[in-house]
Structure 1
């Protein structure tokens, strides 16, 4: 056999076989499929494991920030002077669903922007399909409204306003000047949802607390305080990708300090019930200290060095600081033990935020 034909026979190259001169010996043909492995088929690409898919959805929904949600309803319930009951539980469930709907919708709406700035996010990285994220947002919104409806028509009305605000923010208002105000309104409405559901849950009457019962409107000062904090954190978050802003974290730092000082005032604001004198006097300063430490310290770092990593850290601290702020609002309303229950979520939020970013 000539050398060229011998090489073709060994390599199975169709071009070399065609170039080899014909002789009386039949050409040796190696099927191309045999080069790809046993059975003549190429190995199929590995499918994502269940753990990988679960991780992708956890990132999409930002599950580490979920622990900041139940305290809204608890603070709202405390503001009405009632102990948490069935209506409060329904409000917590509705709030969790609507919050997660907003997270899924946020990434769906930002999928093209994230492909440039955050290609590691679940949708641009291909780990979650855009249609699946949008479907999840719709299903979670429906579930949240259904839970709120079980707490009565007033609660459903507040939840509907909350859902409309969430969708308007994600689809239209996020990148406008109204973005921070829309996000602040959503958090304020979430606290009012807890107050309304607790005060008027269908078929139940929540037991009044030690300070007596109040109408849901008594929760307005607490809702405004939570909204102010949310506005400040959202304004900072608009710079977390590029960094470079000193004014936003500085203004947020001033707002956080103002909220902490207001919480420690001797007399509650107009319309707020008075705190329980014994336990409240002990726990309220501790809650305020935890709030300032969680929110103010990373904001100060972002003021001194407005780099993207420190700005993102300030946003994450501001999100986690909502828990001690909710505890503070509950204690000022006369329910320090409710605030203590909310503070029990802090270790969980901190531990999970190390695995899944809340931003």
Structure 2
């Protein structure tokens, strides 16, 4: 198992759990009926595991030289995983994600292909851009929500716009993370906070329109608390470690944001299932890096 640990570190298991929450939230938004007879839809969960895992592995492949300077403890620069082995793992996971999505539908496969392409574009080209980095990473997460919504393809016409919300949210996290190593300026944190508040406002409005405003407000408030506390510390002292904690909180608490979507659309049982992913993600985050 110890020989496999570096490979798990590359794939960031705690983050993958948040991607599964995206799929469940997307399914809930479409009013999908979760039942054993609909087992084919769960290929989409395997798809997001492959897509997210492959994307973050390729991130380390492309960043190997930079990590040798800034994060020499990472699996590739430390020599625990060779660049070729890491690249093979990343590509294999991405291909697995596309194939798994295709096991459900052609539309799902097309969305998975777009997500995989965006992930590689982010890893190779966009991540170091203050503008295109957050946008590209946000599109990956928004596409992941759409992948879940593809379980009922007709729903994309009515609710596809909801994918803009995780685009804004992940854009905020990515903007913050650009200063994670060396520290940063408060300007990025202010922009991120504004995006966070916009996300919460949209969630509440949708929940209110669906007749579930008061119930969703509880989870929206919890989410705001989880991301707000470390962000406030980063405001007070925008050094690398504080910014890293704000990024980690933003990523892990995505699960709570997805649970809020489930409640907004009136599905408490699935919201509870999604919330149960949070302790799992936190546990994995203690063993494997999130950022």
TM-score by length of 1: 0.76
State the alpha-carbon separation in 1 of the partners of residues 105 and 208 from structure 2: 30
Trace 1:1-359 onto structure 2 (pairs within 5 A): 50-51=1-2, 53-84=3-34, 85-176=38-129, 177-196=131-150, 198-199=151-152, 215-265=155-205, 268=208, 274-275=210-211, 277=212, 281-282=214-215, 284-359=216-291
Deviation at 1:254, TM superposition (A): 2.2
In structure 1, distance between residues paired with 2:227 and 2:284: 18
TM superposition outliers: structure 1 runs of 4+ over 4 Å: 266-269
| TM-score, length of structure 2 as denominator length | 0.93
1:87–1:199 contact (8 Å) kept in structure 2: no
List per-residue Cα deviations over 1:229-248 (Å, max 9, x = no partner).
Answer: 00000000110000022111
The total of aligned residue pairs comes to: 287
Residue 14 of structure 1 corresponds to which residue in structure 2?
none
Structure 1: how far apart are the matches of 2:114 and 2:39?
Answer: 21
Tell me the CA shift for residue 166 of structure 1. Answer: 0.9
* Unmatched segments (≥5 aa) in structure 1: 1-49, 201-213
Q: CA deviation at 1:155?
A: 0.9
CA–CA separation in structure 2 for the residues paired with 1:124 and 1:246 = 31
Higher Cα Rg, which structure: 1
**Alpha-carbon offset, residue 160 of structure 1:** 1.0
SS in 1 for 2:4: helix
Higher helix share: 2
